Amino acid sequence: MVTRLLVLGLLCLVVRESLAEEGSRSAELFEQRIMPIFRSSNPSSCIQCHLAAVDLKKYILPSHEKTFLSLRDKGLVDLENPAKSKILTLIRMGEKDRDEGARLIHAANRKAELEAFSAWIEACCNDPKLRSLPKLKASDLAGPERPNEVIRHARKIRLVDSFVRNVWSQRMRCFPCHTPHELDESNARHRTAIQKQKEFRRQYPELVSRLKIFHKTPEETLQYLIDHSKKTPLGDIPMINLKQPQDSLLVLKPMSKLPNKLDDGRFPIPGRTAPLFHLGGLKMHLNDHSYKSFVAWIQDYANVVGDRYESVDDLPADNWVATQYILRLTAAPDSWTVTTPVQIFLHAKNKATGGWQSEPVAFTQGTVTPRHIVNGALFFFGKKGPKAHAVSREVAVEPGEYLIKVYADKTRRLKKDPTAMLTPEDFVGQAPLKVGRWRPGFRQAKSVSGANLIVPKAD
């Protein structure tokens, strides 16, 4: 009996001691392994996919106890099964990345974070006193300040998808000079272009590096544009201008004219400062459809990496899907001055009511030319939201009757925000459009005459 009591007493002592040990061990682990992550000026492994809005640091508070309670109260710790804690799942996300390069780059960092958090959480969960402390006040919880929608929007993969729809999709306007991978030796129609490119590169070897803009894949192209921008010498216009998106070299160069030839018949080498010249000549126009989508993408990119989106309302719809279907307005009214930006929306029939759908299915934008024509390739409106982008899906305009609604920016609203959609105040008229088979390309454009535009009477 006595011995039994003794043994029990001893056991209690051992248990109590080991509990105290767990308590101090978790505090020690926190100090040694979690605080360095908190203090580090380098981004955590989350950056592999999240360009902004989340970082592992955001879940850490300077107090060991509060950090644990905060994770516990947010449901990120599994008290019974610490190894299955959600915070560890978040850290492990990077292992599943299909981008092998990115997976490798962040592997060491991820491993260190995972080991640190696993050991510390395990120690915390073994400390009954810590586990059962009362809940923290909601205002004391740690974690990203941004809502989940903003976090999802700031993912790299979403920006790449958007890049494909808004910039990569327009690359054939830069063919053949900046798209070496689109040149096909076996295509008879490419032969002259290939020959001319060879000749040009031989004549101007110093310009060869400036021609490689569109690389083999959208990802490589994007990386190139970002790297190029980081290396901008002082005074030059950056390829991607984070401060003023519409003043990016990527946009301004193709909107610049050819320089005058020198006396020896050669072109002077254009610089990267104003006044700009482009040896490719005018390839994009202020407020045309590619200009709009280029600027929209750069603006979104700048806002993401600048962590400037705070709420869901700040997010752009980012749902334009590029096509090669050309919509044309001819005989634009004389009262519209040349270069006025015009938006044309395509509305489909509402099958149930026989009327027109209030939401357009597609739009384009162009400017009034000296011959009073407006041209543009259609962008379809995809679904909104993070999983809505079907880039590769070929959109086709189904045969049928459509209504086009035309808006003219006579007050130059787009000057302030080139990505904006015009408002009912800018509405100038509508007309029906019958579509049989619509094929991509300029020669297959569908036209509506400005003379047929009517403004329906309000009922």
* Interface ranges with ligand HEC (CB under 6 A): 44-46, 48-50, 54, 56, 90-91, 93-94, 96-97, 144, 148, 151-152, 155, 173-174, 177-178, 207, 210-211, 213, 249-250, 253-254, 270, 272, 278-280, 283-284, 386
The residues, ordered by sequence, that sit 6+ positions from 372 with a Cβ below 8 Å of its Cβ are 330, 331, 332, 333, 334, 336, 338, 450
Nearer to ligand HEC, 180 or 333 (CB): 180
CA angle 249, 259, 166 (to 5 degrees): 30
Name the minimum Å distance from CB 382 to ligand HEC.
16
Name the minimum Å distance from CB 76 to ligand HEC.
9
Name the minimum Å distance from CB 441 to ligand HEC.
17
CA separation for the pair 278, 339 (Å, rounded)? 21
CA separation for the pair 68, 350 (Å, rounded)? 55
Type of residue numbered 305? V
Q: Which two tokens stand for residue 217?
A: 């894949």
CA separation for the pair 241, 213 (Å, rounded)? 16
Nearer to ligand HEC, 33 or 283 (CB): 283
Q: Which of 251, 49, 102 is nearest to 166 (CA)?
A: 251
Name the minimum Å distance from CB 241 to ligand HEC.
11
CA separation for the pair 165, 395 (Å, rounded)? 12
Name the minimum Å distance from CB 377 to ligand HEC.
13
Closest residue to ligand HEC in the complex (CB): 280
Nearer to ligand HEC, 87 or 378 (CB): 87
Q: How many CB atoms lie within 10 A of CB 186?
A: 6
Name the minimum Å distance from CB 276 to ligand HEC.
8
Burial class of 431 by CB neighbour count within 10 A (0 to 12, 13 to 18, 19+): middle
Name the minimum Å distance from CB 331 to ligand HEC.
28
Measure Cα distances from 62 to 27, 139, 391 in Å: 11, 15, 44
Q: Which of 150, 148, 159 is nearest to 314 (CA)?
A: 150
